[in-house]
Amino acid sequence: MTQDLFYSICGIALFGIGLYGLLIPPHILQKILAVNVMGTGVFMVLIATAQSRAPAIDPVPHAMVLTGIVVAVAGTALALSLVCRIYALSDDTEQDAGR
């Protein structure tokens, strides 16, 4: 098995793990983390693709990953800020809602 194939498989597996984490656990922070795990899996597939064109390394997937990271940061931040705003609106009885 070549190196890039190994990392592609790991990336797809991470994607699957993240998908499970997004769909099943009830905690919202777990879901947000799971989305990031999925994203990391996709980035890993892209990096493996860049590696697969050895001996030269394809810079285009690297650029895609850098763009993707920024987009992931943005999405995560928006999600967390929404969670904070919902949390701020919660009644006392719901204080431990997201726990």
Partner 1 sequence: MSGLSLPALLPWLVGLPLLAAAASFAGQRWVAGRWLNAVGAAAQLALAVLVLWLLAAGDSGLGQRYTLGGWGAPLGIDLYIDGFAGLMIAITAALGFVLSLYSCSYFTEPDQAARFWPLWWLLMVALNAVFLAADAFNIYVTLEILGLAAVALVALQGGRPALQAALRYLLVGLLGSLCYLLGVALLYRAYGTLDLAQLGQLVHAAPLSWAALGLITVGLLLKTALLPLHFWLPPAHANAPAPVSAALSALVVKASFYLLARFWLETLSAATTAQGLQVLGVLGAAAVLVGSIQAIRAQRLKLIVAYSTVAQLGYLFLLFPLFGRPSDTAGLGGAVVDAVAYFIIAHACAKAAMFLAAGNIQRAAGHDDISRLHGIARRQPLSLFAFAIAGASLIGLPPSGGFVAKWLLLNAAIDAGQWWWLITVIAGGLLAAVYVFRVLNLAFTDSAEQPPAAEAQPVLPRLLPLGAFALAIITVLLGFNALWVLEVLDIGVPPLQLAADGEAL
Partner 2 sequence: MFRELNSNAAPPAGLRIVCALAIVGLTLALIAAVVVSGPAAPGLQAAVAAALPHSGVENPVTAVLLNFRSYDTLLEIAVLFVVAVATLPLRRAVAPQRTEAVAVEPVLAALVKLLVPLVVLTGGYLLWVGAYAPGGAFQAGALLAGAGVLLSLAGGFSLAALPARPLLVVGLVVFTAVAAAVGAITGAFLQYPVAAAGVLILVIEAAATVSIAATLLLLYGNLAEPVPSGPLAGTKEPAS
Site of interaction with partner 2 (CB under 8 A): 2, 4-5, 8-9, 12-13, 15-16, 19-20, 23-26, 28, 31, 49-50, 52-53, 56-63, 66-67, 69-71, 73-75, 77-78, 80-81, 83-92, 94-95, 97-99
Q: Which two tokens stand for residue 2?
A: 């070549």
**10 versus 22: smaller Cβ distance to partner 1:** 22
* Among candidate residues 39, 36, 33, 46, the one with its CA nearest the CA of residue 4: 46
Q: Which among 67, 75, 5 has a CA at the least distance from the CA of 34? A: 75
Residues that bind partner 1 (CB under 8 A): 8, 12, 15, 19, 22, 28, 31-32, 35, 38-39, 41-42, 45-46, 49, 52, 60-61, 64, 67-68, 71, 74-75, 78-79, 82-83, 85-86, 89
**33, 21 contact by CB (below 8 A):** yes
Can you tell me the distance from the alpha carbon of 84 to that of 92, in angstroms, rounded to the nearest whole number?
15
